[in-house]
Structure 1
Amino acid sequence: MNYMTMRKDTIRIVLVDDHPVVIQGLKTALEEEPNFTIVSTFSSGLALLSFLESNPVDVMLLDIILPDGNGVDFCLEIKRLYPDIVVLILSNHAERSFIVQAVQNGASGYLLKNTSLLELTTCIHEAIDGQVTFSDEVKKIMVRPAESNIQGIPQLTKREKEILKLLADGKTSAAIADELHISPLTIITHRRNLMHKFDVKNVAELIMAATRNNYL
Structure 2
Amino acid sequence: MSTNSTIKIAIVDDHPMVLEGLKSILSKEAYDVYAFTKGTALLDFIQSNSVHLILLDIVLNDSNGIDLCKKLRDRLANTIIVGISNQAEKSIILEFIQAGGNGYILKNSDNSEIITCIQQALLGNLALSQEAQRIILQAPVNNLALPKITKREKQILQAVAKGHTSAQIADQLFISLITVETHRRNLMQKFKVKNMIELIRIATENRLFD
TM-score under structure 1 normalisation?
0.62
Deviations 1:156-184 (A, max 9, x none): xxxxxxxxxxxxxxxxxxxxxxxxxxxxx
Query: In structure 2, what residue type is equivalent to 1:37?
Result: D
2:36 counterpart of 1:42: yes
Query: In structure 2, what residue type is equivalent to 1:13?
Result: I
SS in 1 for 2:84: strand
2:47 counterpart of 1:12: no
Query: In structure 1, what residue type is equivalent to 2:81?
Result: V
Q: 2:82 aligns with which of 88, 91, 110?
A: 88
Match of 1:24 in 2: 20
Q: Distance in 2 between matches of 1:106 and 1:124?
A: 16
Match of 2:67 in 1: 73
Q: Distance in 1 between matches of 2:43 and 2:138?
A: 35
Report the alpha carbon displacement of residue 57 of structure 1 after superposing the two structures with TM. Answer: 0.5
Report the alpha carbon displacement of residue 9 of structure 1 after superposing the two structures with TM. Answer: 5.7
Match of 2:138 in 1: 144
Report the alpha carbon displacement of residue 131 of structure 1 after superposing the two structures with TM. Answer: 1.0
Q: Distance in 2 between matches of 1:29 and 1:81?
A: 27
Higher relative contact order (CA 8 A, sep 6+): 2
Query: In structure 1, what residue type is equivalent to 2:41?
Result: A
1:189-200 matches, cutoff 5 A: none
| Segments of 4+ moved more than 3 angstroms | 5-9
Report the alpha carbon displacement of residue 145 of structure 1 after superposing the two structures with TM. Answer: 4.4
Q: Percent identity?
A: 39
Change (3 A) 1:13 1:104: same
Report the alpha carbon displacement of residue 30 of structure 1 after superposing the two structures with TM. Answer: 1.1
SS in 2 for 1:111: strand
SS in 2 for 1:64: coil
Change (3 A) 1:145 1:86: closer
Match of 1:109 in 2: 103
Greater C-alpha radius of gyration: 1
SS in 1 for 2:109: coil
2:123 counterpart of 1:129: yes
Deviations 1:183-211 (A, max 9, x none): xxxxxxxxxxxxxxxxxxxxxxxxxxxxx
Q: Distance in 2 between matches of 1:28 and 1:9?
A: 14
Report the alpha carbon displacement of residue 6 of structure 1 after superposing the two structures with TM. Answer: 4.7
TM-score under structure 2 normalisation?
0.64
SS in 1 for 2:14: coil
SS in 2 for 1:88: strand
RMSD: 1.9
8 A Cα contact 2:90 2:139, kept in partner: no
Q: Distance in 1 between matches of 2:60 and 2:76?
A: 20
SS in 1 for 2:28: coil
Report the alpha carbon displacement of residue 7 of structure 1 after superposing the two structures with TM. Answer: 3.5
